[in-house]
Structure 1
Amino acid sequence: MSTRHIRRSAALVATAFALPVALGVAAPAFADSHQADPYGPACASVPKEGSGSLASMAKDPVATAASNNPALSTLVTAVKKAGLVDTLNNAKDITVFAPTNEAFAKIPKADLDKILADKAELTKILTYHVVGEKITPQQLSMGSFKTLEGGSLTTAGAGESFTVNGKAKIVCGDIETANATVNIIDTVLTPM
């Protein structure tokens, strides 16, 4: 083996090791560009640390993350009754428009009890709140998105003020979980 061949082989080996290291160092610059802080008035009520905090939610899949947030307990109960926990936790890169407990409280109790008792109707309503892609705040300004239920929902707004279907307000948006982006809303959406 010649000296020239050894130098060339050594240079190739060095390049083979240096390239992944260089890419690894460069990777954060190419990371998802919408990694902004969550926004909205209800974000102040999210725990600062521990279970239910933004850092904790980022580590868990969406249904598990929601179960640790006290403001979403009615939604979590509905998701469990519909049998959607595994479906949501195993989905990849989705966006969930998550109604607060107060959003569910706007529905008369008799009507809510009827919906919670009807698994097919409950599933239809809940899957209408899920879009099969991650949506950035920029896309919310004038968006139309197909839901897992099969219908579509529209979003509008700017800055930190967005509405869904012209009536539900995003009260804490762009929360990252392990598999989803969550936008907490103040009204339960109705499939069109």
Structure 2
Amino acid sequence: MSSHRIRTSAAAIAAVVALPLSLGAFAPQASADTPSPFGTGCSSLPNSGKGSTTEMSKERVATAAANNPKLTKLALALKDAGLTTKLNDAKHITVFAPTNAAFDKVSKMQLAGLLKDKAQLKKVLTYHVVDKAITPSELPNGSFKTLEGSTLKTSGSGESFKVNDSAKIVCGDIKTANATVYLVDEVLMPPS
């Protein structure tokens, strides 16, 4: 009888040891659960401190833009349009955020006119915002209604995506405390 107990105990111990080991092979890895930004422009973001993706994830979207050296012109435009609080209070939104370089592509005369006309500035900026979290898997053939009321379209594959067939997403899937951010290389203009 004692040899039967020993065999039963040995089998039970082997099962207890084998189960966690076999489950470990199927357990998700921490890095697979944590989305990371994609795109060639991500390398130009700060690695740590203000403006880094780690710090942006702790801040509301308009605050994160103000603290990111690539988005200071957007942050100022949001402030001028009176949208900072609205975007910071929103939940689960997506912002196609024009970089400073995108604002530099707009002619000085057009930009000055836009900054003087608060209603038009607000219209342009809300055209960059979608009232839902957009994942990279939705970008290949995406069509999204913006807060401005018009639709913007996304296309592409892998890590190469465009908005409205012209603006490139240079760094995408950046998380903030209340939004997903895709940095774009052009200021998007709503349809007339």
Note whether the superposition's TM-score is higher than 0.5.
yes
User: Aligned residue for 2:152?
Assistant: 153
Report sequence identity in percent. Answer: 58
d(CA) in 2 for partners of 1:118, 1:112: 10
Q: How is 1:2-151 mapped onto 2 (pairs within 5 angstroms)?
A: 35-151=34-150
d(CA) in 1 for partners of 2:40, 2:177: 23
Deviation at 1:136, TM superposition (A): 0.4
Q: Whose radius of gyration is greater, 1 or 2?
A: 2
Deviation at 1:41, TM superposition (A): 1.0
CA RMSD for the aligned pairs? 1.5
SS at match of 2:133: coil
d(CA) in 2 for partners of 1:35, 1:102: 29
Q: Which moved more, 1:56-65 or 1:43-52?
A: 43-52
**Which amino acid counterpart does residue 165 of structure 1 have in structure 2?**
N
Unaligned runs of 5+ in 2: 1-27
**Which amino acid counterpart does residue 43 of structure 1 have in structure 2?**
C
SS at match of 1:51: coil
d(CA) in 2 for partners of 1:56, 1:159: 26
Unaligned runs of 5+ in 1: 1-28
**Which amino acid counterpart does residue 54 of structure 1 have in structure 2?**
T
Deviation at 1:142, TM superposition (A): 0.4
Report runs of 4+ in structure 1 exceeding 6 Å deviation: none
TM-score scaled by length of structure 2: 0.82
User: Aligned residue for 2:179?
Assistant: 180
User: Aligned residue for 2:169?
Assistant: 170
